[in-house]
Every structure is written in C-alpha cells, then in structure tokens.
Chain A
C-alpha cells in the first residue's frame, strides 16, 4: 500500500522526467569527466533550461556527425539502404526509446539513410528534452 507521499513523489518524478534527466547528466559527466563536476552540471542545466524556453535542441552526447558514422558502419558498401532490423538495433543502441516502428520503406525492408537520419534526430531531441512542457 503506497502511502500518498510516495505516490506524489512518483507522479512528480514522471511528470518532470527526473530519472531521464539524471541519466543524461550522469552520462555526460562520465564522458567528459570535467575537473569541476558541479560547474559542468550547472552549465548543462542552464543549457537545458534555455532550450526548454526556446524550444531548441538540448545537450546530448550524440550529434549529427555521429549518425553519419553509425550509417557508415551499418552500410559499409554504401547501398543507401539499411534493413529494418539494423534500423531498430541502431536506434536502441543510441538510447532512443519509442521510435517510429513503421518508418517509410519498412515494407520492402529497405530504409533509406535519410529516413534513418530523420528518425534518429527526432529521437535524440526527444530524449534530451527531459523536462515537462511548460
């Protein structure tokens, strides 16, 4: 029997996506390993706040050039298409949840690079927007 405070706490955590926020912050800390972790965190939080207000894209570990490298690994012969299984696996590896399971070209099992890039970019933006919509 969860007491009301516990329920309030769970609701709050979900609404403001606190756990996702903490995950993102910690992974960025461990990747960049700054000398002064608290200042780094303050900076990242300010950036996030800014994008919450203006709607831009939040701080994230991956960027567009990383996507190109991923595509290069998945499609070494440069056929311009990847299979659905590869698409799904790659998006999960990047840490994107709830991505579009039926992108363009899924019926022929040929998903173009463009579609992949688009879906990945969308997904990354969503995963970095760890705040409740104002």
Chain B
C-alpha cells in the first residue's frame, strides 16, 4: 500500500476456477433474469433461481412455412410427449392445426423430446380457451396470444425444463410484444424449403385418424389454395421475423430427410456461446499449418502465441532460471527432456498476460506422457483442435519450403515460388525440412497420434488440407461454441 503502484496480479487459480464453473455465464444469467422479472425481493428470488436444478434451460423457437415439418421435430423431442407437450399429441403428427404442418411439426416434437423441454404450440395454448376455439390462429389477437404464452411459460415445468415454442410468433408484432414481456429465446431455428417441395409434401400427406400414423386416409390437410394462401402470408412475415431474431437465428434447409434436419437443428440448439479465456491446443502432423493458424488466432483474438520450440530457444537465450537447463541440450542437438520443457512452459503460461488474454499452444505435447503431464498442471487447455492432413500434403508443404538467406523471405516451390532466377539460385532449405527428416517426423507423429487423442476426448477435428483461410474460418466457428 505504498505510493508505488504495482499492477494487480490475478492469480491464475482464479481464472481457471472461473472457467471451470462458467462463472461469467452464471452471473450473466442471474442478472438478466433479475432485470427481466424485476422482483421486489431480489435476494430471495436469486436464492430460488440458484436452487433450481439447471440455470441453463433450453429456450428455443422453431419457425417455418406451412408444410415444412415443425411439429414432428418438436414432438419427437418431448419425453412422454403426451404429458409434456402443450398439444394433444394424438392428433399431433400431420396437420393438427391450420397452419403448422408436417415437417416443422415433426421436427418440433423430436427436439423437445431430446432436450427434455416442454413443447408449446398454438393449439395447446388455445385448448383451454373454449371461446377462442372458433377463431383460427391468424385471428387470435397478438396481445392475447402473448399473454397466453407468458402464462404457460411461467408454469413450473417450463421454468424447470425449458421450452420449445413451435410456430410462435408468426408476425413481427407478436415478436415485439413477446420481447417486451421478456420472453427471449436462446436459439431460433428457421426451416426453409422451396415452394414446390412444400406443396408436394402437403399433398402427399395422408393421415390415419385412428392411430395418428400416416396411412391411407387423406388427413385434415390443407387444400392447395389454402396452402398457397398460407405460404403467401408466411413469406410476407418472414423477413420481419428474421431481422428480429438475427442474433440467435439459424436457418436450416428442410429439403432433406427428416433425420438430417433433426440433427442439424439439434446441433444448432446445443451450441452455447460461452465467453471464456481461450486456452487452445493445436495438434496435428508437421506441415499441417499449426504455426500459421496459431499466428492468425493470436493476431485476431489477442491471445498469446506459445510455440514450444521458440519458447525453449528464447528461454535458453535468456540464460536464467529454467532456461539455463535448456541450453546444453540445444547445443548438443538432443531433445530437451520433458521435465525441463514442462517447467519452462508452466512458467510462461502462468504469467499475467497468458492468464488474462489466453494462449494458443502448439508444438507440445508430442506423446502420451507429455500430454498427461500437461493435464496435471493447472494450465489445461479448454479447446483442443486436431488439424488433419494426409501425409503427402504435409510432405509437399514442408520439403519444398526454402528460405532466401539474403532477404530472409520464405518461399515455397509450389505455392509461392521465388520471383526471379537469381533469387532461385540462392535459396536454401532448412536442415529440418529435408525429405528424410520430414518423413521421420511424420512417422513419429503417426505413432503417437492415437494416444494423444485419447487424452483429449473432445478434440475437434479440422480438415487442414485446404486453403489456410478456410482452415482459419473452420477454427473460428468452433472457438466459442460448446
């Protein structure tokens, strides 16, 4: 507490703990629930909220044109879908209601079963309101609908398990009213299909009214003119809906088999965007582009780029502390023993810049033992990417690398040839890039590859056999999702 100000050093334990329990997400959801509900007694409300089994309930809206398959997707997802789902599922598959029809309905069912969430549909909401039964869904006034939705979503089962809203909202006005009340979805899945497909589906859909299975009788489907009118109405509203939910929107092409649509929708709904300090590990054969991707990542996201080889060399040049131990090995050309590498690495990764900004590591671990020791330190990676490329691509990339000793520029015989003949004459290849060396390193990698992957069960595979920018895009898209 003297006059000299020292920078505040947050011990790495704290950021690791915060990451492990997803604290920022927890606090954020607490505050957002408080602001939406504004209870008079926030402390008891918070206690209540924390005592519920999951803070992270799924909140999904499933939208789409008529005949696209919403209902099936939702209801296959309610467990014991009879009890949970707002719609009576006896009449469910097929055209229970006027406008929601087969594919959206189909998908809605499956999703709510998988997510163990409550399936809410328009007809479910209108079921208890006998005086409104006479009205078709379009005529239900927006504020009444919103009120019904609000009531339904406040019931205990929705609060505990989450909800999947199918086909609601349908107009921009409804969206605005829902937002005002505080019903905000985490994900909006929009199913799209070209018109001919929708028409075909509606026509082909037959319903067996007894068992609900689709057999021989023509169901209570829409006639073609009705369907076209519905579609027309939908097309008018869809741009409004899209812009309202653009930050959580995911569009899926419904012109595919049901299961494909379902899996895509499920993957979309299960992605959760967590912001956490990145601790990324890049694995992959030599030549797969790890250093390049690490450099791109650190430039774009301000994390610290830790290249193991360079780290060791700079520690040795430093000459003090653990670095002094490294020097004799580098001089002799022998590989540095694991314990020394780990010490140098740990020291680097516990520094303030790494614990605040995050890091991306490559060049370590190379085998099972090293990976296990890394897991035991407190600097475990929270994202592991495996850049996969076939052997011949790696060989080609590495063995044709050359450096111009005068200018220091790096060239590659195929992708970036030297500009002129005299530069070409000067080019040299680094000793580690010679064909034999590269082949040896590749073989080493292949031997340890499977073992390494076993230490990191949720490793994300990225195809590195493409242009480096596409690889980077693939990396980016998986960076923050769950």
Interface, chain A (partner B; CB < 8 A): 5, 8-9, 12-13, 16, 18, 21-22, 25-26, 29-30, 33, 37-38, 41-42, 45-46, 48-49, 52, 70, 73-74, 86, 89-90, 93, 131
Contacts and interface: CB of A to CB of B under 8 A. Distances in A.
B310 interface: no
A2 to B, nearest CB: 14
Question: Main SS of chain B's interface residues?
Answer: helix
Contacts of B343: none
Given A8-B38, A49-B43, A70-B1, A33 B30 contact: no
Interface stretch (B13-21, B95-103, B422-430): B13-21
Leading 8 A-B pairs by shortest Cβ distance = A9-B35, A30-B14, A49-B43, A33-B17, A37-B21, A16-B42, A38-B50, A12-B38
B373 interface: no
10 contacts: A9-B35, A25-B27, A30-B17, A33-B13, A33-B14, A37-B23, A38-B51, A41-B50, A45-B46, A49-B43
Contacts of B46: 41, 45
A89 B3 CA distance: 9
A131 B34 CA distance: 14
A74 B180 CA distance: 53
B177 to A, nearest CB: 12
B38 A42 contact: no
Given A33-B13, A41-B46, 13 more contacts: A9-B35, A26-B23, A29-B23, A33-B17, A37-B21, A37-B23, A38-B26, A49-B43, A73-B1, A89-B1, A90-B1, A93-B1, A131-B43
B9 to A, nearest CB: 14
B18 A30 contact: yes
A43 to B, nearest CB: 9
B47 interface: yes
Contact of B47 (A29, A33, A45, A73): A45
A22 B30 contact: yes
Contacts of A5: 180
Contacts of A37: 21, 23, 26
Contacts of A90: 1
Contacts of A25: 27
Given A16-B42, A18-B31, A33-B17, A46 B47 contact: yes
B44 interface: yes
A22 B27 contact: yes
Contacts of A70: 1
B47 A18 contact: no
Given A70-B1, A73-B1, A22 B42 contact: no
Interface of B: 1, 13-14, 17-18, 21, 23, 26-27, 30-31, 34-35, 38, 42-44, 46-47, 50-51, 180
Interface centre among B21, B30, B43, B51 (most CB of A within 10 A): B43
Contacts of A41: 46, 50
Nearest to A8: B38
Given A30-B18, A42-B50, A18 B27 contact: no
A13 B35 CA distance: 7
A73 B23 CA distance: 33
Contacts of A46: 47
A131 B57 CA distance: 28
Contacts of B26: 37-38
A18 B42 contact: yes
Contacts of A21: 42
A48 B43 contact: yes
B14 A9 contact: no
B38 A9 contact: yes
Contacts of B43: 45, 48-49, 52, 131
A5 B21 CA distance: 31
Nearest to A35: B21
B47 A49 contact: yes
Interface centre among A25, A70, A73 (most CB of B within 10 A): A25
B34 A18 contact: yes
Contacts of B38: 8-9, 12
Contacts of B23: 26, 29-30, 37
Contacts of B51: 38, 42
B47 A22 contact: no
A108 B13 CA distance: 44
Nearest to B2: A73
B99 to A, nearest CB: 30
B96 to A, nearest CB: 35
B29 to A, nearest CB: 12
